[in-house]
Structure 1
């Protein structure tokens, strides 16, 4: 009887909760946060330490996804759209803008004002900082610049290594998990390949640029044909995943340096 009740409750929860994109999985977000640590200015590092104590950016990066389970009105009613933007194919972000309920780019502006202002409480600034780190990671996952037709690839069903899944999940986590690396291992591998030329080229603090880069990539990563993918899909896209994680890390630092300095 208990098993039946549990199953029934699970079905109800599945019907009630909206299908939402959750960005890079835990590993991907932590990779961007870990990479960012090395590129923080002294001023930004001090401000972050003042706000978060011993919590580093890798730890902070996954907090907004964890908080989706909170029953607080901010998390249940407001925060969902802050994880993505919508840019239809052939459009630009500037041509479509943010919807009334907001999006990732509008949220970054909101949180920047909190971090730079003097009126917010410590707790409010902590939320703003953690969410800022998370959003910048989100905007470097190509499917978080959705085309407006399939919930950022969540409705695009496919098979990946003989497992039924969807395109968004593949990019959130499965391409990363396929490498079987911890976030510290992957961060170390990626960090040692980031050159000073890369840092200079990637130090762009305009979120619209990041989002439109993702939208451009997004349009090229949809499988064709029978949608059954394995090693060939990994081969075609691993470098893209690694570059976007690396860029996300460098840009988290660049953005926070600008906010705090």
Structure 2
């Protein structure tokens, strides 16, 4: 009888532990596809034609998850560090210690370099275009500019509507999934912005955008403590920022692509 009871406890612990420590996709598929869909609305005609030629008509929304899709393939493990930047709070990217294996900012710059290279093969251009679409999305997820010591919030365990999860996953997908809209519905319901606002949002460098996202990361960390039970109030206080970041990510992705293909 004791053995059965012990096994039951062990099973419950295993399920809970697995749930808490499962791998987390950046922004989740819905978030990345939303950014890709939003970007398409801001592309020039020439950029659209160039991208359609490279992707054989596939949409930015479709290829936006490529960076996560290849993680299970060991051939691409060298790209794992491209999905994030770890720098101390209050330190700008340009002043921070760089990861020798590369990071989110250097990864984006490498993608741009290949796409501008006239001697690069079409195969390489397609690969790095797909990576670029994904990485610009990651750049606007606050926990991807998070702290090294807790792996961008992955080690900060919380509850989301009574289910075990972590802070990184809350920002990746929990809030978005709870809102219960498809990526096309999210993209179609972005906030209206003026031409002046558009120009303002598209200003700056990739490093500037990383520094900006870090400020959102600081607020995200301050919004929880380990073990917190997050529910409707957390959605109310934070989901607008998540939605804004999806929209800004899409607008800036379009800006980068238009510059590359002009």
TM-score by length of 2: 0.87
- 1:259 to partner: Cα distance: 1.3
Question: Residue deviations 1:132-179, cap 9 Å, x none?
Answer: 011000000000002222000000000111111000000000010011
1:92 aligns with 92
In structure 1, the residue corresponding to 2:25 is in which secondary structure? coil
1:71 aligns with 74
Asked if 1:256 corresponds to 2:234, the answer is no
Asked if 1:211 corresponds to 2:210, the answer is yes
Question: Residue deviations 1:26-76, cap 9 Å, x none?
Answer: 00000000000010122211211111021011111111111112232xx12
In structure 2, the residue corresponding to 1:158 is in which secondary structure? strand
- 1:225 to partner: Cα distance: 7.3
Q: Which moved more, 1:206-215 or 1:217-226?
A: 217-226
CA distance in structure 1 between the partners assigned to 2:97 and 2:247 by the alignment: 27
Given that residues 145 and 152 in structure 2 are in contact (C-alpha distance below 8 angstroms), is that contact kept between their aligned partners in structure 1? Answer: yes
TM-score by length of 1: 0.88
Specify every segment of 5 or more residues in structure 2 that has no aligned partner in the other structure, as ranges: 1-13
Pair 1:252–1:97, CA change in 2 (3 A): farther
- Which structure would you say has the larger Rg? 2
Asked if 1:59 corresponds to 2:59, the answer is no
Structural RMSD (CA): 2.0
2:3 aligns with none
Question: Residue deviations 1:174-210, cap 9 Å, x none?
Answer: 01001110111111011x5333333122113511121
Given that residues 158 and 227 in structure 1 are in contact (C-alpha distance below 8 angstroms), is that contact kept between their aligned partners in structure 2? Answer: yes
- 1:22 to partner: Cα distance: 2.9
Asked if 1:196 corresponds to 2:190, the answer is no
In structure 1, the residue corresponding to 2:200 is in which secondary structure? helix
CA distance in structure 2 between the partners assigned to 1:257 and 1:169 by the alignment: 31
Specify every segment of 5 or more residues in structure 1 that has no aligned partner in the other structure, as ranges: 1-10
Given that residues 86 and 147 in structure 2 are in contact (C-alpha distance below 8 angstroms), is that contact kept between their aligned partners in structure 1? Answer: yes
